[in-house]
Structure formats: C-alpha cells, structure tokens
A and B are shown apart, each in its own frame.
Chain A
C-alpha cells in the first residue's frame, strides 16, 4: 500500500543518547516534513524539505537535525536526547510546493526520553 512508513513505532530512550527516526515515502513526493505533537500544543513543524538536497527549519528545530539525500527518505536525528523531546513524531509528505498540495501523514513514532 503506497504511503509513508515511519520507524520505529515507539521507543524508550535514555537521556543523552542519539536517536534517528526513520521516514520513507513511496509516492515520489517532492516535499517532506517532520512534526511533533504534544498535548495542548497541537502539531508543530520541526524541519521540512521542499526537494531532495534541501532542508529548512520549522517552528521548533532546536535539538533536531534532518537530511534529504534522496526523494524517498527523510530521517530525523536527535543528537543528544532530552526529556522535553518526549513526544509523538509525525512525518508527512506532499507532492510539491505551493498550490493545493495536501500533506499525507505517517502513523507516528511515540518517543519517551527518560
């Protein structure tokens, strides 16, 4: 089934550890996004990529990094995890920039930092 695959589904991580959340899409969408969802705060954009080879900062980029080596993959890395990064992380993609380009979401990664 075409769509977005995120891995892992959930993870418990010790503070200070490095963690990479994986996101792969098979729709050949140009743009990809990472959000975190926290109770009472809704979805907040962490980083995005409008096309392979380019990335941009969203609303809450600190403590996170991304790369976009190819069209399909958009990993999110926490270099040194802190408890405030406990959240549900969603990856999304859209066909292009501008115009009517609704975003399609993965099922999320639930991350707990202890």
Chain B
C-alpha cells in the first residue's frame, strides 16, 4: 500500500534555513502537498507540487521533487519562530483521498 515517511523532529535557529524531507512509495502520485499544523489547530495547506515538476518556489518556501527517488523536500528560508509547527507531507494518487506522513515537528529557537 501507499506509505509516506518523514523524519519526526527538526530543530533550527532563527534566520537559518530549514529543510524537511519526505519519501513516498506510490509512483503514480500526481500531486504532493505540504501542510502546516500549529498547536491546537487544524492543518493548513502551505504549498503543493505536480508530479511533472522538479521545483516550485513560493516566497520563502521551496519545494523540490525527485520523482526517480520518490523524495520530496520543503525548504523554508530565513526561518522564524512563527514557523514552529508540525509539517505534514501528503500524496494524492489521482483520486480524492490523500496519504499523509506522520509529520515533522519543527522547533525554531531564537
């Protein structure tokens, strides 16, 4: 079945770049998503990438996709304390349901 794996924890200092990594198994994935969850809140869509793209940039966010290795990453430039949250990678295999990773907790220290 489909599986999405993420590292559980990442700690960075304010102003540094953060890179959150994700691997997935379903080669038929068409869209891949990054969601952010702040404490006590639901998941907020951050960005997404279509499977025929290698990179997508959106302000401080850069998504890189290596389809051959089934590897997705989210880079946050100039990380701020407000970026502290749990980040989820998710894949869409062409139907409506998504498969989520277990989430990476990003802690940004001043």
Interface residues, chain A, with chain B CB atoms under 8 Å away: 4, 31, 33, 40-43, 45, 48, 50, 58, 90, 92, 94, 96-108
Contacts and interface: CB of A to CB of B under 8 A. Distances in A.
Please report whether the interface of chain A is mostly helix, strand, loop or mixed according to DSSP.
loop
B10 interface: no
Contact of A107 (B42, B92, B103): B42
Interface in B52-91: 88
A49 to B, nearest CB: 9
Contacts of A4: 42
Given A42-B103, A98-B94, 11 more contacts: A33-B97, A43-B100, A48-B96, A50-B96, A90-B42, A97-B96, A100-B92, A102-B31, A102-B33, A107-B40, A107-B42
Interface residues of B, number: 23
Interface of B: 30-31, 33, 35, 40-45, 48, 50, 88, 92, 94-98, 100-103
